Amino acid sequence: MSKILSQLNDVQRLAVQQIEGAQMVIAGAGSGKTRVLTYKIAYMIEQGIDPFNILSLTFTNKAAREMKERIYTIIDSSEARNVWMGTFHSVFSRILRAEGEVLGYPSNFTIYDTDDSKRLLKAIIKEMQLDDKKYTPGIVANRISSAKSNLITAAQYYASSNIFTADQNAQRPEIREIYKTYAARCFKSSAMDFDDLLLNTYILFQKFPEILYKYQEKFKYILVDEYQDTNHAQYRILRSLADRYQNLTVVGDDAQSIYAFRGANIRNILNFNRDYPEAKTIKLEQNYRSTKNIVGAANSLIANNKGQIPKKIWTDNAEGDKIRIFIATSDNHEGKIVAQSIFDNKITHHYKNRHFAILYRTNAQSRAMEEALRHAGIPYRIYGGISFYGRKEIKDILAYFRLTINPKDDEAFKRIINYPKRGIGNTSLQKMIIAANNKNLSLWETAKQIHRLNIPLHSTAKRKISDFVTMMESFQAQLHQLDAFALAELILKQSTIQHTLQADKTIEGIGRMDNVEELLNAIQEFVEKDKEDEEQAKFDGEEYAGTLDDFMKDVALMTDADKQDDGDSDKVSLMTVHAAKGLEFPVVYVVGLEENLFPSFMSLNSRPELEEERRLFYVALTRAMQKAYISYAEMRYKWGELKFSEPSRFLDEIDEKYLEFENRPTPPSPKISRTAGTAPLNKAKPASRLQRNQSFFKGNKRLTKISDVSPAATPPSNLKNLKTGMRVKHGKFGTGKVIAIEGAPPNTKAKVQFPAVGTKTLLLRFAKLEILE
């Protein structure tokens, strides 16, 4: 038997050996899914299939990189580099850069990230003079995004009476206008947003059969990871690509589908056999990752979902410890408990920092964890949140790069026309925008012709604008003369960004400078790596010159997960459960298991959404190899307010035999005097499990918001008893006297007379007033 096959179990081997035809692998958590994919590709190459004919779509670019490396070692050859491997978005952007011309896009098109899209939408909404309460960029962006994910173009959206009616009913009839304008503006700027990468690829293949044919011939073998999370657009593209040869392997687990919110359609995996009647289905049910307790707990949890592909996940691994549940008094306390537990585990069981992960539902929860870890001297790394490329200082610099590469990029233009300050303020910019829209020009073209166009601007302003144009043109001229690093340095200097940043000696300023350094390092690394690859690239018939536009190609698609690990870093990982998909850790802490948080309050209205939350928790639990901990806090800061929370219903869904409740530590919980009657949930202190079971979930009645922290709960919010005439202390204004109280909670305001600063009206919710009586 081939060496490759001998390293697999029977079912895995079956999956690997079937090269031809359609195949669906249902891979339970920890069942060696990646192993199957990796070995299958290795095996295909070993069997003589040309790696150039293989397309492998992974969930992150990092996963692609790691898979390639593993294939190198399995087949002991560098042939693996010729496999096309990457995320849907990165692979399709590559195709669009090569072929997009027929759709009217230059190969240097910009990829707008969410931030760019929302800024543009905001500008459009403002131009159209719509009510920005009804039309928030977020809501509109979601609407447009889901349309695109379902392959509905702006024109189709506009023409559909069903959609229009739906929007009308939602009090947002203008969305079709916004979408239309938005699409036109993006096109004019030679820009695509994330969804466009899919939509346009689809259109490309539809409209140009000869191009589709070319890629069908190229990708005779297609493998897709995390198939349960593909959306309609991805589904349709795959279908057309695989149509000719039907050699399509999809791997996934319906129990781990957690991306419905961005259009993932679980039916894709459920209907695979209908789409490909000849397809073989293979189920990987043995879990190699986790202990019996963890697998058992996860199984008992997920059993609460309906309508799954039936499967029985089991394991041969050791029994392991029961899952321990920590009950904390507050979010900060939760952080301390987790940090303490990590500390203990390190000492007693000799774990390294990198063996731990802390998983949470929302990014905001990371703060309490960070603080506690910092305090305990435990190094950590946060994935996600505001990613590196999302930082303002980085985005500003990237905007220079973008405008250098694609001068039509209006969002980049707006970002940097007055950064660093060069005296072209908002008024001038607005005038330019109006002129640009009237003449149907990009802002760049408008700026270039600023002297010729009839724009009511002062001549000084015009001169400053043309200075800016001259500077940018000098960068553009260097684009293919200098390598990325040299040009980046030049831009930083000439634009005076470097100078501006260096002048800022505050801690944040230094931090920003550090980030810029890091960006430069990344560019430097890229240039060097590119030089190494140059030979190979030439062989591929591509031009890899290590220039800035090369560097920028993938930046927008880069996520934190894709970032190279900074060497031998031994750090605890902090991330959302979503970000943890596909990863595993010896010890996992899942924190914040509270109603309205996990499951999220957004999901409580419908069964499908609740089930998705449950799958999410399932994903979280199954990341753990040896030990899993779950925690929740009885009180948590939300929206700047301390709120009571309830243990998550999911805790009760796990079979109790897998759980072990920590003795409730008894720190001096603040004395709580609940006002009678105001608390519909009379169980702020979930003292016993029994009590919780009886009370917290009755039918599917949505829980009343638990917002009324009673007056005595915390000193800063001890303000319900505030009366006129009282003396209070304010952090900034000093002591003063209350002269009036107005408004109803939560918007109660107090008028306070401060001897030092005069009368102030303060929102009690925010002002930290202290009563001095």
Sole binder of DNA in the list 18, 107, 206, 600 (CB under 7 A): 600
> Could you say whether residue 426 binds DNA (CB under 7 A)?
yes
Give the residue ranges of DSSP H helices in 679-747: 689-695
Is there a contact between 314 and 340 (Cβ–Cβ < 8 Å)?
Answer: no
CA distance from start to end of the chain? 85
Q: Does 501 bind DNA (CB under 7 A)?
A: no
Residues 260-319 that bind DNA (CB under 7 A): 261-262
Show Cβ contacts of residue 733 under 8 Å, excluding neighbours closer than 6 positions: 752, 754, 756, 757, 760
Q: What one-character-per-residue DSSP string does 533-582 give?
A: HHHHHHHHT------HHHHHHTGGG--GGGSPP-SS---EEEEETGGGTT
| Interface pick for DNA out of 256, 576, 622, 631 (rule CB under 7 A) | 576
Is 362 an interacting residue with respect to DNA (CB under 7 A)?
yes
Q: Does 423 bind DNA (CB under 7 A)?
A: yes
Q: What is the DSSP string of 586-605?
A: EEEEE---BTBBTTBGGGTT
Residue 579 makes contact with DNA by CB under 7 A:
yes
Q: Which residue in the set 82, 136, 150, 340 belongs to the binding site for DNA (CB under 7 A)?
A: 136
Determine if 414 is a binding residue for DNA (CB under 7 A): no
Nearest distance in Å: CB 49, DNA: 27
- Near DNA by CB under 7 A, which window of 295-303, 528-536, 703-711, 756-764? 756-764
Contacts of 561 (CB under 8 A, 6+ apart): 60, 62, 383, 384, 579
In DSSP terms, 27 is beta-bridged to 284
Q: Between residue 84 and residue 113, which ones bind DNA under the rule CB under 7 A?
A: 87-90, 113
Please pick, from the candidates 384, 665, 670, 711, the single residue that binds DNA as defined by CB under 7 A.
384
Q: Which of 167, 196, 226, 253 is catalytic?
A: 226
Q: Decide if 256 is catalytic.
A: yes
SS3 string of 205-274?
Answer: HHHCHHHHHHHHHHCCEEEECCHHHCEHHHHHHHHHHHCCCCCEEEEECHHHCCCHHHCECCHHHHCHHH
User: Quick one: how far is CA 86 from the chain centroid?
Assistant: 17
Among positions 329, 428, 596, 710, the unique one binding DNA when judged by CB under 7 A: 428
Nearer to DNA, 16 or 580 (CB): 580
**Binding to DNA by residue 515, rule CB under 7 A?**
no
Between residues 44 and 450, which has the closer beta carbon with respect to DNA? Answer: 450
Contact between 559 and DNA per CB under 7 A: yes
Whole-number Å distance between alpha carbons of 458 and 128: 27
* 3-class state of residue 499 by DSSP: helix
Task: Judge residue 766's burial from the number of C-beta atoms within 10 Å of its C-beta, 0-12 exposed, 13-18 middle, 19 or more buried.
Answer: exposed
* Rounded-to-5 percentages of helix, strand, coil across the chain: 50, 15, 35
Among 116, 393, 549, 613, binds DNA (CB under 7 A): 613
- Give the Cα separation of 489 and 480 in Å (integer): 15
CA 760 to mean position of chain CA atoms? 41
**34 labelled catalytic:** yes
Look up 225 and say whether it is catalytic.
yes
- Strand bridging mode 734-742 / 54-57: unpaired
Task: Please say which residue, 422 or 692, places its beta carbon nearer to DNA.
Answer: 422
Q: Based on CB atoms, which residue is closest to DNA, 243 or 565? A: 565
Q: Are 26 and 192 in contact (CB under 8 A)?
A: no
Nearer to DNA, 82 or 600 (CB): 600
User: x-or-dash pattern for DNA, window 459-478, by CB under 7 A?
Assistant: --x-----------------
Is 626 a catalytic site residue?
A: no
Examine the residue annotation and report whether 549 is marked as an active-site residue of this protein: no
| 114 interacts with DNA by CB under 7 A | yes
Comparing CB distances to DNA, the nearer of 89 and 355 is 89
Does position 639 interact with DNA (CB under 7 A)? The reply is yes
Q: Is 374 labeled as catalytic in the residue annotation? A: no
Question: Does residue number 78 form part of the binding site for DNA (CB under 7 A)?
Answer: no
Of the candidates 34, 246, 496, 735, the residue annotated as catalytic is: 34
Catalytic site residue from 113, 167, 196, 225: 225
Site stretch for DNA (CB under 7 A), options 307-315, 322-330, 484-492, 762-770:
762-770
Question: The tokens of 670 are what?
Answer: 């603040």
The residue type found at 557 is L
**Given the complex with DNA, which of 218 and 768 has the nearer CB atom?**
768
Site membership for DNA, residue 424 (CB under 7 A): yes
Measured distance CA(422)–CA(424) in Å, rounded: 6
Comparing CB distances to DNA, the nearer of 416 and 527 is 416
Count of residues touching DNA (by CB under 7 A): 55
Nearer to DNA, 274 or 766 (CB): 766
For residue 379 the two structure tokens come to 């190094």
Least distance CB 693 / DNA (angstroms):
25
Examine residue 420 and say whether the peptide bond preceding it is cis (omega within 30 degrees of 0): yes
Is-contact 301 621, C-beta < 8 A? yes
Residue with tokens 């995320």: 87
Positions 194 through 253 that interact with DNA (CB under 7 A)? 194-195
The answer to whether 744 contacts DNA (rule: CB under 7 A) is no
Positions marked active-site = 33-34, 225-226, 256, 623
Q: Footprint of DNA on this chain (CB under 7 A)?
A: 60, 87-90, 113-114, 122, 136, 138, 194-195, 258-259, 261-262, 361-364, 384, 392, 418, 421-428, 461, 557, 559, 561, 575-576, 578-579, 600, 602-603, 609, 612-613, 637-640, 760-761, 763, 765-766, 768
